[in-house]
Amino acid sequence: MRYNERELLSLARQPAEKAAEIRMSVPKKGNVLKKRLVKLVVNFLFYFRTDEAEPIGALLLEHCKITKEEENVFSISFIEEPERKYCFECATKEQCQEWVEALRRASYEFLRRSLIFYRNEIQKMTGKDPLEQYGISEEARFQLGAHRQ
Amino acid sequence: MKLNERSVAHYATCDSPADHAGFLRKRVERHHHHAHHHGTSYQRRWFVLKGNLLFYFEERDSREPVGLVVLEGCTVELCEAAEEFAFAIRFDDAGAKAYVLVADGQAAMEAWVKALSRASFDYMRLVVRELEKQLEEACKSLAACRKSPWRSSSSGRKRHLSNPALQPLQEKPTTLENGYSTWSSGGCVAGGATCTDHDGGQPKPPPLPPRRRLAASSATGSPAPGLSPAMLESPVSPETICFSKLHNWYGQEIAVLRREWQERQKRGHP
């Protein structure tokens, strides 16, 4: 699958929602934990060798499951391959909890569900659709009751 | 740079609804030098927009996308191509190539330009923050109404009770409100529970996004590594990190309102 790698690399250089040096392993033989700079930007998680400017890899965080494995370890796996896990060993359990929470909110799909929730709540409270003033009420991506996964 | 391509391709083809889809002709870069003609050529592809990702497939029923355009940070503009109904997706980077796409007609072109220009994660996040603020304000005015003196509050309350906005509290739950029953048991991330991100087919209301103590202009987030989301404990609503907490707070408001109303009813009937 082709993709605009250049733009993805540019995204990796932008200010991050969260960034830290964390030991991580990728799902392959050995599962060795290596220290990486891990950076969350929009719905992508980039990981770099600690002294390099360009990421080694990127994970799109849609349809993924963030699991707290142990006190300071969490993993990311994807719906279609639940056994393949990217593991992250944090310095403290607090850091682990912060990352788990941040990553669970990092998907576009999560944002969409939040928006639909707020829109619905505001409409119930005030009787008005808050999106009307922006002229975007009819956009497919904002629809109430849309059963989205 | 590696990308979790298998998972990305799966996201493209799974049955989560697309934000927009349709055939477009995509201008092709000509790499080979043995081309017989000098005009630009186009390939017709099936395009699917999901979130901030634009996928394209060879055919509508292809099982895997041929390509992906990550849309974050792009601009979408109509372009002066020889083709009618052409538009371009461009990026800031001077050397980056633009994606020139051609729609079937005026309406299709306009629909695509609209959908693509609102596709970024940043845009979605802005709208969510705005709605979060509005909801907080709506709660504030609800709380303010409750705090007013007895006389005006009774009429205020009558207005409230007849206000269609309050009635849903007594209504049978709709599919979205059904979430109330699951939220208190499953909504909160804290406590070591493994709150899963994927729904498994059920509409799962999310814990509210964290309050961000950032200037509205800072769209791409805090630059400080390891900085946890700012938590603002406002006087009228608790921090929104944990939805079940907010839900309980709402519930308390309602419980107090109901109790006061019932007491007044009792006093009214000797």
Contact list in B for residue A131 (CB cut-off 8 A) is 127
Q: Is residue A95 part of a domain?
A: yes
Inspect the interface and report whether the beta carbons of B10 and A80 lie closer than 8 Å: yes
Measured between beta carbons, which residues in chain A are less than 8 angstroms from residue B229? 102
Query: To probe the interface with B, which of A5, A14, A17, A52 has the most B CB atoms within 10 Å?
Result: A17
Q: What is the mean pLDDT of chain B?
A: 70
- pLDDT for residue B184 is more than 50: no
Q: What is the pLDDT of residues B219-245, one digit of tens each?
A: 343 333 333 333 333 434 444 445 555
**Residues of chain A neighbouring B11 (CB-CB closer than 8 A):** 60, 62-63
The answer to the question of residue B60 being in a domain is yes
Contact B121 A43 (CB under 8 A): yes
CB A81 within 8 A of CB B6: yes
Give the nearest chain A residue to B191 (CA atoms).
Answer: A97
Is the interface score ipTM higher than 0.85? yes
Query: Above pLDDT 70, what percent of chain B?
Result: 54
Min Cα distance A88 → chain B (Å) is 14
In contact, A23 and A34? CB cutoff 8 Å: yes
How far the first Cα of chain A sits from its last, in Å, is 24
Residue A3 lies in a domain: no
Q: Which two three-digit tokens encode residue A43?
A: 């719905």
DSSP string, B6-71: HHHHHHHHSSSPPSEEEEEEEEEP---S--S--S-EEEEEEEEEETTEEEEESSTT-SS-SEEEE-
| Number of residues assigned to chain A | 149
B249 touches chain A (CB under 8 A): no
**B76-90, pLDDT tens digit by residue?**
999 877 789 999 999
Rounded to 5 degrees, what angle do the CA atoms A8, B11, B58 make? 85
Contacts of B198 in chain A (CB under 8 A): 63-65, 79, 149
The domain in which residue A40 lies consists of 10-110
- Which amino acid, one-letter code, is at A66? I
Residue B179 within any structural domain of the chain: no
Q: B180 to chain A, minimum CA–CA distance in Å? A: 11
Query: Which residues neighbour B99 within 8 Å (Cβ) at sequence distance 6 or greater?
Result: B26, B27, B69, B88, B89, B90
Would residue B97 count as lying in a domain?
yes
Q: Looking at the complex, does the CB of residue B92 fall below 8 Å from at least one CB of chain A?
A: yes
Residue B151 has pLDDT above 50, yes or no: no
End-to-end CA distance of chain B, in Å? Answer: 78
**B229–chain A Cβ distance below 8 A for any pair:** yes
Report DSSP letters for A5-26, one per residue. HHHHHHHHTSPPSEEEEEEEE-
Chain A interface includes B19 (CB < 8 A): yes
**CB contact, 8 Å: B222 with chain A?**
yes
Confidence band for B249, pLDDT divided at 50, 70 and 90: low
Chain A residues with beta carbon closer than 8 angstroms to that of B174: 145
The more confident residue out of A32 and A29 is A32
Higher per-residue confidence, B23 vs B16: B23
B20 belongs to a structural domain: yes
Domain with B71 in it: 5-32+39-119
Residue in chain A closest to B228 (alpha carbons) equals A98
Query: Is residue A117 domain-resident?
Result: no
Residues 21 through 40 of chain A touching chain B, CB cutoff 8 Å: none
Which residues pair with residue B21 across a beta bridge? B48
Does residue B249 lie within any of the structural domains? Answer: no
> In whole angstroms, what is the distance from residue B112 CA to residue B106 CA?
10
- In CATH, what number is assigned to the domain containing residue B112? 2.30.29.30
- B102 within a domain of the structure (yes/no): yes
Q: Does B143 touch chain A (CB under 8 A)?
A: no
Dist. CA A47–CA B177, nearest whole Å:
39
Segment A78-134, tens digit of pLDDT: 999 999 999 999 999 999 999 999 999 999 999 999 999 999 999 998 888 888 887
Sheet strand arrangement including A34-41: A64-70, A73-78, A81-89, A18-25, A34-41, A44-49, A57-60, B2-3
A123 Cβ neighbours under 8 A, 6+ residues apart:
A129, A130, A144
pLDDT at B174 over 70: no
Is residue A144 a part of any domain in this protein? no
Give the closest-approach CA distance of A33 to chain B in angstroms: 17
**Residues facing residue B100 across a β-bridge:** B88
**B196 chain-A contacts, CB cut-off 8 A:** 65, 67
Q: Is A50 on the interface with B (CB under 8 A)?
A: no
The DSSP element (H or E) to which B153 belongs, if any, is helix B150-162
CATH code where residue A73 lies = 2.30.29.30
Q: Specify the higher pLDDT residue, B267 or B11.
A: B11
Shortest alpha-carbon distance between residue A83 and chain B (Å): 13
Tell me if B176 and A80 make a contact (CB, 8 A cut-off): no
Query: From CA B57, how far away is CA B48, in angstroms rounded?
Result: 8
pTM reported for the whole predicted model:
0.69
CA distance B89 to A10: 16
Question: What pLDDT, on the 0 to 100 scale, is given for residue A30?
Answer: 74
Residue A24 lies in a domain: yes
Which of B63-77, B98-112, B253-267 is predicted with the least confidence, judged by mean pLDDT?
B253-267
What is the total count of domains within chain B? 1
Q: How confident is the model over B187-213, as pLDDT tens digits?
A: 333 333 333 444 444 454 565 554 443
* Number of domains chain A contains: 1
B202 is a domain residue: no
Q: Is B162 on the interface with A (CB under 8 A)?
A: no
b (16+ CB within 10 A) / e for B42-55: beebbbbbbbbbbb
* A77 near B CB under 8 A: no
